């Protein structure tokens, strides 16, 4: 039996962040991973043709670059190969009339695009930018604090000191508003509102879902002021650097090592038993970087108890499913809305809020949407190293799909399982891109389609193909993620802790839960 201070289950970026921070604090740590490659939802692989490197799920690394974990370890991570590529042209939306609206680091250019739609909105955008500096420290302070905690209360107190009750009212309204409520409060142009509301669909927020305003607000403001970054050579740059740093500090990483069960001794979690029979003892903590629901359904023995916690986790809802389409391309799309669109990291195809509500309603009813929302990533416009010379990769995320298919809202696809339906539905998605960028399909050399079922098979934390590891609706966010009363990573099983996207502060590449948990354990 091998003995460690802590054993971390799952080599995603949150698990690795926890492992690295504890190792730097003098703990002896092992990370065990069921897959042959570390990374969880942050992987880059040649899934179409040799030389074409595709980010399987996450592509945008701005949250990691701006994280507290990166701020602490950026120098040593850079020594182990971490490298970013800036994206000054961050995101744009295309519209059926052949126009587009984009946001990038050139404030004057962004304002000019908005002013073409509405002088009033250009002024409102500038006012929002000017005000962001007042609100941002409090928002990011809250997102970077355990929930609940004295640190979170201190953030609220500082917000009150900075702006009194008006500041707290503004922040509270922002946290509780739907995207439509927030956007209607500030802007008149439907195109501008649609451009920002599209970000809500990244986190399970249709335009009229309460609590969905924060993400569009943060993405639009931070992208305008700081830009976006992707990984040099692929999003897995963060995983390669983290695993190299972990090894250099004496950490143990075991790949192809699925966990059969969490071991219990004297009523406490005491280690893990691997599928091959090996047992790794954990003197101080077992940390599961696996979806909390999966952790307790598959890994924690029934004899460990925690019946109320298990029942609550059984109600922890996944968000809508997603599909990934990876394309090896001879060239980037020629967007009808203008050649400038080829420079953007993301192009959203979600032209109005009515369409976003419709696709969300269809998916939540178990139907394949007639017209899904698409996020078209163009990483090789920024980082040519991801493809052979003169070639490109296209990253297409098909947002808001049913995990289980009950039918097709368009009445065309008859298959009701994803293995049979995925190629036909991928064709539907590519036909939408073709409408906005004629000739795109002729540039496709090969493709790889990952259905919701494929995503869950690749990563069991993505239940039903939910790329968020759990809906972020208010009922299971903040103090309620994953279970009310257990949002501080500690489970009712002594010495067993959880982190990852299924815990506060949720999905994304910010490594927040792993880093905050490690700091709490080290104290």
What's the DSSP call for residue 369?
P
Please say if the pLDDT value at position 1 is more than 80: no
Q: Are residues 215 and 240 in the same domain?
A: no
Q: Are residues 159 and 196 in the same domain?
A: yes
What pLDDT is stored for residue 220 in this prediction?
97
SS3 content of the chain, % helix, strand, coil (to 5): 45, 20, 35
Whether 324 maps to a domain, the answer reads: no
Please say if the pLDDT value at position 311 is more than 90: yes
For the stretch 12-24, pLDDT in tens is 999 999 999 999 9
Percent of the chain clearing pLDDT 70 (strictly above): 100
Q: Give the confidence band of 523 by pLDDT, cuts at 50, 70, 90.
A: confident
Q: Are residues 138 and 205 in the same domain?
A: yes
165's CB contacts (< 8 A; 6+ apart) are none
Whether 69 maps to a domain, the answer reads: yes
Domain residue limits at 506: 2-40+64-83+234-316+471-522
For the stretch 86-142, pLDDT in tens is 999 999 999 999 999 999 999 999 999 999 999 999 999 999 999 999 999 999 999
Q: What is the CATH number of the domain that holds 17?
A: 3.50.50.60
Quote the CA–CA distance of 511 and 506 in Å, as a whole number: 9
For the stretch 181-204, pLDDT in tens is 999 999 999 999 999 999 999 999
Give the end of a domain, one of 170, 193, 226: 226
Please say if the pLDDT value at position 63 is more than 80: yes
Q: Are residues 247 and 305 in the same domain?
A: yes
For the stretch 405-461, pLDDT in tens is 999 999 999 999 999 999 999 999 999 999 999 999 999 999 999 999 999 999 999
Whether 349 maps to a domain, the answer reads: no
Give the end of a domain, one of 187, 209, 226: 226
Whether 378 maps to a domain, the answer reads: no
Mean pLDDT over all residues of the chain?
97
Give the end of a domain, one of 200, 226, 252: 226
The whole-model pTM stands at 0.97
For the stretch 466-477, pLDDT in tens is 999 999 999 999
Whether 390 maps to a domain, the answer reads: no
Whether 259 maps to a domain, the answer reads: yes
Q: Is the dihedral of CA 275, 3, 37, 325 positive or negative?
A: positive
Q: Are residues 184 and 284 in the same domain?
A: no
Residue 448 bridge partners (DSSP): 326
As a whole number, mean pLDDT of residues 204-227 equals 97
What pLDDT is stored for residue 248 in this prediction?
98
For the stretch 230-278, pLDDT in tens is 999 999 999 999 999 999 999 999 999 999 999 999 999 999 999 999 9
Q: Are residues 183 and 290 in the same domain?
A: no
Please state whether the peptide bond connecting residue 148 to the residue before it is cis, i.e. omega within 30 degrees of 0.
Answer: yes
Please say if the pLDDT value at position 72 is more than 90: yes
**How many domains would you assign to the chain?**
2
Whether 325 maps to a domain, the answer reads: no
As a whole number, mean pLDDT of residues 501-508 equals 97
Q: Are residues 251 and 214 in the same domain?
A: no
Residue 25 DSSP SS3: coil
What pLDDT is stored for residue 112 in this prediction?
98
Whether 420 maps to a domain, the answer reads: no
Q: Are residues 173 and 238 in the same domain?
A: no
Quote the CA–CA distance of 389 and 313 in Å, as a whole number: 48
């Amino acid at each position: 039996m091998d003995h460690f201070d802590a054993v971390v289950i799952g080599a995603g970026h949150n698990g690795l962040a926890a492992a690295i921070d504890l190792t730097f604090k003098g703990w002896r740590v092992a990370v065990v991973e069921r897959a042959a490659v570390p990374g969880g939802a942050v992987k880059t692989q040649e899934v179409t043709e040799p030389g074409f490197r595709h980010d399987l799920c996450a592509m945008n690394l701005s949250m990691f670059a701006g994280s507290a974990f990166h701020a602490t370890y950026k120098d040593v991570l850079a020594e182990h190969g971490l490298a970013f590529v800036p994206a000054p042209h961050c995101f744009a939306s295309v519209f059926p009339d052949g126009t587009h609206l984009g946001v990038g680091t050139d404030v004057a250019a962004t304002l000019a695009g908005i002013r073409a739609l509405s002088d009033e909105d250009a002024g409102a955008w500038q006012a929002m930018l000017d005000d962001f500096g007042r609100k941002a420290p409090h928002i990011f302070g809250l997102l970077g604090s355990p929930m609940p905690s004295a640190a979170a209360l201190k953030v609220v107190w500082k917000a009150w000191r900075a702006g009194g009750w008006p500041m707290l009212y503004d922040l509270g309204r922002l946290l509780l508003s739907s995207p439509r409520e927030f956007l209607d409060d500030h802007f008149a142009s439907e195109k501008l509102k649609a451009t920002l509301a599209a970000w809500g669909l990244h986190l399970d927020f249709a335009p009229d879902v309460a609590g969905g305003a924060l993400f569009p607000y943060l993405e639009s403001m931070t992208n305008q002021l700081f830009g976006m970054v992707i990984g040099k050579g692929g999003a897995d740059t963060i995983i390669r650097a983290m695993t190299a740093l972990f090894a250099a500090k004496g950490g143990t990483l075991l790949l192809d090592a699925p966990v059969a069960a969490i071991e219990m001794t004297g009523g406490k979690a005491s280690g893990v038993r691997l599928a091959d029979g090996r047992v790794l003892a954990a003197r101080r903590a077992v940390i599961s970087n696996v979806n909390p629901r999966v952790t307790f359904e598959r890994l924690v023995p029934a004899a460990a108890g925690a019946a109320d916690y298990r029942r609550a986790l059984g109600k922890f809802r996944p968000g809508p499913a997603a599909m990934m389409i990876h394309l090896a391309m001879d060239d980037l799309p020629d967007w009808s809305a203008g050649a400038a669109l080829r420079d953007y990291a993301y192009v959203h195809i979600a032209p109005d809020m009515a369409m976003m509500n419709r696709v969300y309603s269809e998916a939540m009813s178990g139907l394949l949407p007639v017209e899904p929302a698409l996020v078209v990533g163009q990483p090789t416009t920024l980082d040519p190293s991801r493809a052979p010379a003169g070639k490109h990769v296209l990253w297409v995320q098909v947002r808001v799909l049913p995990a289980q298919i009950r039918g097709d809202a368009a009445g065309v696809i008859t298959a009701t399982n994803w293995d049979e339906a995925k190629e036909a539905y991928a064709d539907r998605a590519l036909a939408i891109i073709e409408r906005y960028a004629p000739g795109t399909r002729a540039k496709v050399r090969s493709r790889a389609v990952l259905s919701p079922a494929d995503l869950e098979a690749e990563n069991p934390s993505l239940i039903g193909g939910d790329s968020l590891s759990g809906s972020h609706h208010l009922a299971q966010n903040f103090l309620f993620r994953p279970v009310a009363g257990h949002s501080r990573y500690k489970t009712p099983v002594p010495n067993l802790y959880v982190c990852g996207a299924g815990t506060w502060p949720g999905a994304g590449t910010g490594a927040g839960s792993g880093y905050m948990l490690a700091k709490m354990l080290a104290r």
